[in-house]
Amino acid sequence: MTSHSFGSLLAQFQIPSNTANAMTDNNLSGTLVMINISGTTLTDEEREFIQDHGIRAICLFRKNLGSEVQICALTEDLRQLMGPLCLIAIDQEGGSVVRATTLPAPPSALSLAMGGDIERAQHVGAAVARGIASLGFNWNFAPVLDVNNNPQNPVIAERSFGATPKVVIDYAGAWMQGSLDENVAACIKHFPGHGDTAIDSHFDLPTIDKTLDELTRLELSPFYALRDAAPAIMTAHIMYPQWDAVYPATLSRKILHILLREQWSYQGVVITDSLSMQAINDRYGHGAAAVLALQAGADMVMALGTLDEQKNTLIAIDQSLQKKELSKQQLNTAKTRVDTLAHRFPAHARHYSPAQRDADDTLMARTWQAGLRTMHGPRAPLPGETLHILVQENVSSNGVSESGATLDSITALFEGFKVVWHLCKDLQALDAASITAKVGVRDQDTKVILVSNYRKRYGTGAHDWPIDLHLILWNPFIVLDLPVPSLISFGFGRGALAAVRRWLKGELEVKDTWAARTINSDGR
C-alpha cells in the first residue's frame, strides 16, 4: 500500500506559506468544523452561514440525496460555495450503511470477507469510490476497522470485516487501497474500536473495560497496521476506563494525542464522529465537546445538528481561542493537515461510463453471491410446498443504517411460489404460540419461513419458534437466536437479494457454513 508522509504531501502540492497564513487568520474555526444541511438543496440561511464562517466540510446523508442529477447539482453548488479546498463526505461503507442508493450496491464488509478474495476487496473499494466520485464526493467515511467479536453489538455486526485483527487488516486494507487508487479519501473508523460493545454510541455511552495490553492485541491492531496508508481516522465515542477514566476516546488527549500523534506518529486527519450522538451530546453538548476534542488532538469536529447548534459550536471554539484554552498554533497545524487532505483528494464530479458502471454492478452482485453462508443445513423450497412467510412489514431507517429490505423486494424473492403472507408490525413481539396461531396446522407440504429484515436480535426466547427456514437479510448474529436451518446474506443490497432468489429457486448451491463465534481478548 502507498504511504504518504505529511511533509511530502505539503511539498508535493506546494501550498504557499503566505496563502496558508492568510487563510488561518480568517474563520479558523469554520475550517475545522464539518456540518450537515437540512434538504436536497441549500437554504438561504445555510448558504449565508457557510459563506460567513468559511465552512469547507460537509457530510451528506440520505435525506440530502435525490436523483443523481440533483446530487451532482448540490455537490457542484457546494464546491462553488466552499472553494477548492472543500471536503464533501458520505458514509458509503456497503451493506446497510449506504447513502447513495442509486449506485451499484456494495456488499457489507462481512459479506465481502466471507467471499475469501482479498484482491476482490480492493476492486470493490475502487468501485465504491468510482460511484461516489461521479456524484462529486471526495471523502468516504469507510472502511470500518472495528474487530467485531461481540455478537450482541447493536451497531457494528456485519459492518465489520471479521472477528480477528488479521481478517480486518487484510480486507479493510485492500478495500481502502482501492478507494485511494481512485483518488477518493478513505477514513478508517471507529478508533480505537467499537467492536466489543453491546451499546450503540448513537444512543448512549459504551464502555470497553480492557487493559491497554488487551486493546493493543485486538482493537488497536488494525488501526496500527493501516495507519500509514490511511489519510484520515474517525474517533469513537467510547469509554476505555483502564486507559482514560475521565474522557471517552473522542475527547481524550491520552488517546488522540499521546498515543496516536506522539507514539504512533500519525500525521493524517483525525475527525470526530458526530457530536450530535447522544454518547457525547447528552453529556457535554456540541460546543464544549468540540473544544475538548480539539484540545485532545482532533483536527476536525463533526458538528452535525441544527444550524443553531452549529453556530454555537463555532462560538465555543472562537471563545476558547480568545481565552487561550485552545492553542492557535495547534489549530493552524490541524488546519494544514485538513488542507493537505483536500489538496490530495480534490472534489469534482467525474465521468462514470455506462460500461464501467455495468461492470461494477456485476462485481457487486458476484461478491454478494460469494458471501452467502448457511447454518443447520437449510434446503430450498420444494415444488408444491405452501410457504408461510413471516416478515416485518416495515423497517425504517434508524439514522445509521438505511431502511431494511422492503416488503416489495421480499415479495419479489418468492415470485412463482405458493405463498401465504403473515405481515408483522414487530417481529420482536412474536413467540412460539403466536407463530403457531398464524400458520395453523403444519404438514409435510407446509414450510414456515421467517425473513429477518431487521437488525435487532430476538434473544433466547426465539429458540423454540416453529420455523423451518430462516432467511437472515441483515444482522447475521440473529442466527444464534434460532437454531434452525438458515441462509445468511449479511445484508439486503440488490446483489444479496438476487443471490437469495437464486438459492430459493434451486439455481445456486451454498456449501459453506458460517461459524458465528467470538474470540478471546488476545485475538485467538
Catalytic annotation, residues: 273
Q: What is the DSSP string of 477-523?
A: GGGGT--S-EEE-SS-SHHHHHHHHHHHTT------B-------TT-
Q: Is the dihedral of CA 58, 62, 66, 71 positive or negative?
A: positive
Residues 6+ apart with CB under 8 A from 228: 1, 3
Q: How far is CA 295 from the centre of its chain?
A: 26
CB 487 within 8 A of CB 378: yes
Q: Between the CA atoms of 143, 70, 131 and 271, what dihedral angle is there, to the nearest 10 degrees?
A: -20
415 burial (CB, 10 Å; 0-12 / 13-18 / 19+) is exposed
Give, as one character, the DSSP assignment of residue 257. Answer: I
Question: How many angstroms separate the most distant Cα atoms in the chain?
Answer: 81
Q: How far is CA 138 from the centre of its chain?
A: 16
Find where cell 451454498 sits. 510
Find where cell 472534489 sits. 347
354 phi, psi to nearest 5 deg: -55, -40
CB 299 within 8 A of CB 317: no
Please give the Cα distance from 85 to 121 (Å, whole number). 30
Q: Between the CA atoms of 16, 261, 184 and 226, what dihedral angle is there, to the nearest 10 degrees?
A: 140
Please give the Cα distance from 158 to 492 (Å, whole number). 11
Bridge-based pairing of strands 188-191 and 232-235 is parallel
Q: Is the dihedral of CA 338, 344, 345, 346 positive or negative?
A: positive
Please give the Cα distance from 340 to 332 (Å, whole number). 12
User: What is the radius of gyration, based on Cα positions, of the chain?
Assistant: 24
Please give the Cα distance from 453 to 470 (Å, whole number). 11
Find the length of the chain. 524
